[in-house]
Amino acid sequence: MTTLSPHPPDLRGPRLMRQTWSDLVYLHWAVDPERVAPLLPAGTRPDVLGGVTYVGLIPFVMRGAGLGRGPAVPWLGDFLETNVRLYSVDDEGRHGVVFRSLEANRLLVSLGARLAFATPYTWAQMSLRRDGDVLDYRTRRRWPSPRGAGGRIVVRRGAVMAEPDDLAVFLSARFGLHTRHLGRTWWVPNAHAPWVLRTGELLELHDDLVAAAGLPGVVHEPPASVVLADPVHTSFGLPRLVRTRG
């Protein structure tokens, strides 16, 4: 495996969109790469660290989302999101993520993202309560099925990691995503400043989103990693085709 850098490559060309991610929580479980390989787009394979890959359950707050270099979209540009994601690499060595689901509490955002980018957004009832360093995320899916899928994640934010370990960098230094659209696999690059990562303590977890995303039983074990991140502003570039074999 190539060592990942927390610094992104230059984002060339026009910007597709921009947004700020805040109150972000990374929960991750180690799994056999063979288990997730069938869930990845053609032309990609599981990215591994120490012989395993990871499944992520990640709630956060989206702020100021907008298209191109224009202003943020009022109201629709601010929402809660929880995604289930996998870790991918293609034959050109681009390390990315693959989203299995993305819960959002804005119906128009979910519909627009599905139509324009084929990302599996869903519409959900969601909330975030803050009590000092404790974050309490709750979500319940409204559309599409399985309706009612969701759960609760309660974590305590800890100290800044002066030197994030290899696993924290592997899971967070992801400057793009792989997705399937119009019968092709695409790479969508993004760039942002290096994450400021923090230790985290998981206080409570109830989840069936990971199972609904095709990975039953994963969250029955304690997560291998609990990490939080300070806010970061990111921009996405234009999609590029991924070469596939055959």
Question: Residue 105, CB half-sphere, CA atoms under 13 Å: how many?
Answer: 20
Q: What angle do CA 45, 49, 54 make, to 5 degrees?
A: 65
125: pLDDT confidence band, cut at 50, 70 and 90? very high
Please, are residues 125 and 142 in contact by the beta-carbon 8 Å criterion?
yes
**Is the pLDDT at 117 greater than 60, yes or no?**
yes
Q: Where does residue 243 rank: exposed (0-12), middle (13-18), buried (19+ CB within 10 A)?
A: exposed
What H or E segment, with its residue span, contains residue 166? helix 166-172
Q: Residue 246: what pLDDT?
A: 58
13: pLDDT confidence band, cut at 50, 70 and 90? confident
User: Residue 98: helix, strand or coil by DSSP?
Assistant: strand
The span from the first CA to the last CA of the chain, in angstroms, equals 24
- Report the residue count for the chain: 246
Which tens digit of pLDDT belongs to each residue from 61-105? 999 998 877 777 776 889 999 999 999 999 999 999 999 999 999
**What domains sit in the chain, N to C, each tagged with a CATH number?**
15-231 (2.40.400.10)
Which tens digit of pLDDT belongs to each residue from 144-186? 999 999 999 999 999 999 999 999 999 999 999 999 999 999 9
Is the peptide bond preceding residue 6 cis, with omega within 30 degrees of 0? no
Q: CA-to-CA distance for 198 and 160, rounded, in angstroms?
A: 4
